[in-house]
RNA sequence: GCCGAGAUGGCGGAAUCGGUAGACGCAGCGGAUUCAAAAUCCGCCGCCGAAAGGUGUGAGGGUUCGAGUCCCUCUCUCGGCACCA
């Protein structure tokens, strides 16, 4: 690495004019030099400093899948812009990076290419790290971590044992996708149309013992704290709120009729939010896994077959919810808790064992799903709610049937006439009096199953002893190191076939025991990595006091994909509270004070219909880089052809960049062709961060053209020589009095200072970088116009040009730091843009004497007037009424009303 | 199915608190420069209309002096749904 370059963009001394600025914009050269300079000066190193406000800017760490994709480039550019901007604002900035290194793709790669997951992962990390470096991100690489290293995962094993001892981690049966051919557990992603992705076999549900985190114990706090997150997007808070799904209802029991009960007081418990409709219950539905269903099936082969059918298919909720609703009677009857009426128990494939008690009361008249089910199986429907102006009919479902805000009870005996809340209260009280139920808060949130029957993950630190049971691995035996020399076969975990891994002694009794061979969900690693960045070098503790410095008041900015809006963010919030309760960290409150959820990177797709035996009916996806789009004379696309053969291809939709649609663009080739600054500028300019970003080759070229133009403007200014490359360059307000500026110069200077204000607001408050860039482009257009005339040729003009170009360089620096570094040192020799302060608008320059107001007649734009900035309402009205457009369109009628919106417009109503 | 978001010119997008719709860029068209091309520069660019003007923010309705923005109904697209990360 070169170490002698301090001024990155100096021409080599061999040239005839050694001090002159290079005319051509050469990104490769200036980027190499700028990065070398930052490396040399440790520009991104973050050191705790209590005397300065800190700014911890965190981007979701990548999975090392092989190479960076555009989504990464976008994510990390957003983070870098915010980091650099805040550094220029005087903050002590931390921007770390690491690797979410455990996961299925490493095992898949091992299967496909016969490479070891560990080796594959580490080489991917090495390559992707170089890619990140070539993009010029101000990352403190001394804090780099990878979750697949024992130095990292030993601490989560340690935490696991603490939580296990506290009862916050426990074992119970869980349902998984089972591939009966490959004899392996499948992830939901590996189940395609109900079949295993490799074997093609019909997937079955299977119950196995798993470890669970008691996240439900924190449901109330996780929900309540959402209100303390003003820096989060509203929709993410709402999604989490709905995910936690707190509902207040009534949990009550149907006593089993004597001939079906195994004990005298056996009951079937259900939970409902609609206790007001309890008199409309005509049957009860239980999940296929419910004990009552199992019992009923013992002597009922038909029901047993139905239950077996329910166990076909995967466990993904989306599949369960879109399934055709089916059911079968059990022949078991229970008593209605209030009427004593006999109600039959059905098995329903739509009832989830994991929610509540795995059983629901069915009120077909007032629940849409029950209504459809009752119609299908010809079960009775009993109306118990009536609403004014509505009539109930069995012919079809109407929205109001299920609306708890509408109507009151009927056909419900003593509850008749009561509205929702009063009815629920009365019914709950009566159930409680009978000892058959009570009001209950129920959460949709379920405990988090963390066991995975996979190899490439963190080993669960438990030893199974035939005499002592499950024993957590003692601290001094941690970490339980994952062996890296293994054979991946695709059938179960290799750990389960490695006696050298699982054979061990019980830490309690010393007898022969078996080590747990399941690994942890990779969400476990990503739930606390942001705390470890504060102290990645600590070999004796999971976290230390540096967490308090960097994470105080929450991480200042978290940036990542919207697809993580629920699970990852919820688990991370949960971990912060767990770690607080284990005494590891003080009460940091919420981990992420501000959250920015970036949109996806999408690109057009192209395909041809396949032919021949193999491909008939299949779409053969073509990469956009290999396709020419044909347009008409107005630029509208009319079709597309393949570059290779000139023959037409079909234009598909615009979709998320993916391998399967072959519409990905490799960031590497982009960097090589145009440089990192162009890639960064395009990504920030094409769309606001939280919206999806559409890839456009032409847009990339536009970004490159802009940087080339910026380079030339600065070059021309420097070559003109007014600044003489000296520190003594004249400044407006110092050597040059602001009032000596011409009108054109004053206007341009006002625009400059308005732009400073807007860009700072866009970076800091709005986090909308496309408009910041647009504002600078607009400013440069105005500069160009003034400069191309003779408006800037006098001394004041040169001083203004100097002020403007310096400011523009710094305004853009967070987005395009390499060219910024080079240009700034040309404008101010010896100066380092990376250490400069962000430009601050001068209030005096913002002042305006005269303003333009729009004139409307009946809300339609009819002209404009110029008035003094401090003009009063009466004189504005008078000027508006006298204006040409107003006179013409008022057609002599008197004004009924005149609305004056200060600084904006006048609306005359006639 | 459930939860969440979105829809504005040929395209990406702007309009920040209900106040000039289309900033900025791309594509396109016309011109200058060039032997020519590239690059660059200048101009035009929602739709209808010769113009005056009318009309226009997914569809339909509403509130308002004024609606892309607020309310209601609907359509389509995207994200998540607990073992993809």
DSSP A762: I
Nucleotides of B under 7 A from a protein CB: 1-5, 10-16, 19-21, 23-29, 39-42, 47, 53-54, 65-67, 77-85
What DSSP state is assigned to residue A48? -
Q: 10 Å Cβ neighbour count for A642?
A: 15
User: Nearest 5 degrees, angle CA A716-CA A721-CA A725?
Assistant: 105
Q: How many CB atoms lie within 10 A of CB A656?
A: 17
Q: What is the pLDDT, as a whole number, of residue A394?
A: 87
pTM: 0.93
Query: Within chain A, how many helices (H) and strands (E) appear?
Result: 28, 37
Nearest to A804 by CA among A775, A779, A834: A779
Collapsing DSSP to helix, strand or coil, A326 comes out as coil
Residues 379-438 of A with CB under 7 A from strand B: none
Q: Is the CB of residue A256 less than 8 Å from the CB of residue A279?
A: no
Residue numbers 656-675 of A with CB closer than 7 A to any atom of strand B: 656
Query: Looking at this predicted complex, what is its ipTM?
Result: 0.96
The confidence score (pLDDT) of residue A736 equals: 66
Query: Which pLDDT score, from 0 to 100, does residue A216 have?
Result: 96
Residue A707 is predicted with a pLDDT of 97
The gap between A198 CA and B77 C1' (Å) is: 31
Q: How many residues does chain A have?
A: 910
Strand B within 7 A of A709 CB: yes
pLDDT at A47: 97
Q: What is the pLDDT of residue A731?
A: 63
User: Does A735 contact strand B, using a CB cutoff of 7 Å?
Assistant: no
DSSP 8-state class, residue A582:
T
- Which residues in chain A show pLDDT less than 70? 1-20, 613-617, 632-637, 721-736, 738
Cα gap A189→A454, rounded to integer Å: 14
Residue with tokens 């990542």: A560
The conformational region for residue A636 under phi > 0 = left, psi -120 to 50 = alpha, else beta, is beta
- Establish whether the CB of A655 is closer than 7 Å to any nucleic acid atom in strand B: yes
Which of A752, A816, A739 shows the shortest CA–CA distance to A782?
A752
CB atoms within 10 A of CB A647: 8
CA A311/CA A863 separation, integer angstroms = 72
> Tell me, what's the pLDDT at A724?
44
Identify the three-state secondary structure at position A105: helix
pLDDT score, position A735: 57
What are the φ and ψ backbone dihedral angles of A154, each rounded to 5 degrees? -60, -30
Whether any strand B atom is under 7 angstroms from the Cβ of A910: the reply reads no
**pLDDT at residue A13, as a whole number:** 34
Separation in Å, CA A816 to CA A135, A465, A618, A650, A810: 10, 60, 43, 37, 10
End-to-end CA distance of chain A: 75
Nucleotide B30 C1' to residue A636 CA (A):
18
Sheet with strand A448-449: strands edge to edge: A184-186, A169-179, A204-213, A448-449
Cα atoms found within 13 Å of the Cα of residue A811, Cβ hemisphere only: 32
CB-neighbour burial class of residue A225 (10 A; exposed 0-12, middle 13-18, buried 19+): middle
Q: Which of A73, A292, A317, A278 is nearest to A177 (CA)?
A: A317
The three-class DSSP label of residue A860 is: strand
pLDDT value of position A656: 83
Compute the distance between CA of residue A226 and CA of residue A241 in angstroms, rounded to an integer.
8
């Amino acid at each position: 690495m070169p170490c002698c370059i301090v001024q990155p963009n100096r021409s080599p001394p061999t040239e005839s004019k050694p001090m002159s600025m290079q005319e051509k914009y050469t990104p490769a050269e200036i980027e190499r030099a700028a990065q070398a300079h930052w490396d040399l000066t440790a520009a991104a190193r973050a050191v705790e400093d209590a005397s300065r406000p800190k700014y911890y800017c965190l981007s979701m760490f990548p999975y090392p899948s092989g190479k960076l994709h555009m989504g990464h480039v976008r994510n990390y550019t957003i983070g870098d812009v915010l980091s650099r901007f805040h550094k220029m604002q005087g903050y002590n900035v931390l921007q770390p990076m690491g690797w979410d290194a455990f996961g299925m793709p490493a095992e898949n790669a091992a299967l496909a290419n016969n490479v070891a997951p560990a080796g594959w992962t580490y080489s991917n990390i090495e390559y992707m790290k170089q890619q990140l470096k070539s993009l010029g991100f101000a990352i403190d690489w001394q804090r780099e971590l990878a979750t697949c290293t024992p130095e990292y995962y030993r601490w989560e094993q340690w935490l696991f044992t603490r939580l296990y001892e506290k009862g916050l981690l426990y074992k119970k049966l869980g349902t998984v996708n089972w591939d009966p051919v490959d004899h392996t557990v499948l992830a939901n992603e590996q189940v395609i149309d109900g079949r295993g992705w490799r074997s093609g076999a019909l997937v079955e549900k299977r119950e196995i013992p798993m470890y669970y985190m008691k996240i439900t114990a924190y449901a109330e706090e996780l929900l309540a704290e959402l209100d303390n997150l003003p820096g989060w997007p509203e929709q993410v808070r709402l999604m989490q709120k709905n995910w936690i799904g707190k509902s207040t209802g009534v949990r009550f029991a149907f006593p089993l009729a004597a001939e079906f009960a195994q004990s005298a007081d056996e009951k079937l418990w259900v939970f409902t939010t609609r206790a007001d409709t309890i008199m409309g219950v005509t049957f009860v539905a239980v999940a296929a896994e419910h004990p009552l269903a199992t019992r009923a099936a013992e002597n009922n082969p038909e029901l047993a077959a139905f239950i077996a059918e329910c166990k076909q298919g995967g466990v993904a909720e989306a599949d369960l919810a879109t399934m055709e609703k089916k059911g079968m009677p059990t022949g078991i009857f229970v008593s209605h808790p209030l009427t004593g009426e006999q109600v039959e128990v059905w098995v329903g494939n739509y009832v989830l064992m994991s929610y509540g008690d795995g059983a629901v009361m069915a009120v077909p008249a007032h629940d849409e799903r029950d209504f459809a089910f009752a119609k299908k199986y010809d079960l009775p429907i009993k109306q118990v709610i009536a609403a004014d102006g509505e009539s109930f009919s069995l012919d079809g479902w109407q929205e109001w049937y299920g609306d708890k805000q509408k109507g009151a009870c009927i056909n419900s005996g003593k509850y008749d006439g009561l509205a929702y809340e009063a009815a629920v209260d009365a019914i709950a009280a009566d159930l409680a009096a009978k000892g058959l139920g009570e009001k209950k808060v129920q959460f949709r949130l379920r405990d988090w199953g963390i066991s995975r029957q996979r190899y490439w993950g963190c080993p669960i630190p438990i030893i199974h002893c035939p005499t002592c049971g499950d024993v957590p691995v003692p601290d001094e035996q941690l970490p339980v190191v994952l062996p890296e020399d293994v054979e991946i076969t695709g059938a179960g975990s290799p750990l389960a076939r490695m006696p050298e891994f699982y054979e061990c002694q019980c830490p309690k009794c010393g007898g022969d025991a078996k080590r747990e061979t399941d690994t942890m969900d990779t969400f476990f690693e990503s739930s606390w990595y942001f705390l470890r960045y504060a102290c990645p070098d600590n070999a004796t503790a999971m976290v230390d006091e540096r967490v308090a410095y960097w994470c105080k008041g929450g991480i200042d900015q978290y940036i990542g994909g919207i697809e993580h809006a629920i699970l990852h963010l919820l688990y991370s919030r949960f971990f912060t509270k767990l770690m607080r309760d284990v005494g590891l960290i003080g009460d940091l409150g919420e981990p992420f004070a501000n959250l920015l959820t970036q949109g996806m990177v999408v690109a057009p797709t192209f395909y041809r219909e396949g032919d021949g035996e193999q491909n008939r009916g299949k779409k053969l996806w073509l990469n956009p880089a290999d396709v020419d789009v044909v347009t008409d004379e107005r630029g509208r696309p009319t079709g597309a052809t393949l570059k290779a053969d000139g023959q037409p291809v079909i234009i598909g939709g615009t979709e998320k960049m993916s391998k399967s649609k072959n519409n990905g663009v490799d960031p590497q080739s982009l960097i090589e062709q145009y440089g990192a600054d162009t890639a960064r500028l395009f990504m920030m300019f094409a769309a606001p961060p939280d919206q999806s970003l559409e890839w456009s080759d032409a847009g990339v070229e536009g970004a490159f053209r802009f940087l080339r133009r910026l380079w030339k403007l600065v070059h021309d200014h420097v070559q003109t020589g007014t600044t003489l490359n000296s520190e003594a360059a004249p400044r407006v307000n110092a050597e040059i009095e602001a009032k000596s500026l011409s009108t054109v110069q004053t206007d341009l200077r006002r625009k400059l200072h308005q732009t400073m204000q807007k860009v700072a607001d866009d970076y800091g408050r709005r986090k909308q970088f496309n408009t910041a860039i647009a504002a600078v482009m607009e400013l440069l257009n105005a500069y160009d116009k003034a400069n191309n005339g003779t408006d800037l040729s006098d001394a004041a003009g040169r001083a203004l040009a100097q002020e403007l170009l310096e400011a523009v360089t710094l305004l853009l620096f967070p987005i395009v730091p390499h060219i910024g570094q080079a240009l700034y040192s040309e404008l101010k020799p010896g100066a380092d843009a990376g250490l400069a302060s962000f430009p601050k608008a001068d209030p005096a320059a913002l002042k305006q004497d005269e303003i333009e107001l729009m004139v409307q007649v009946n809300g339609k734009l009819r002209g404009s007037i110029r008035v003094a900035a401090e003009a009063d309402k009466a004189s504005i009205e008078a000027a508006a009424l006298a204006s040409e457009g107003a006179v013409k369109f008022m057609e002599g009628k008197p004004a009924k009303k005149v609305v004056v919106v200060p600084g904006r417009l006048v609306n005359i109503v006639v």
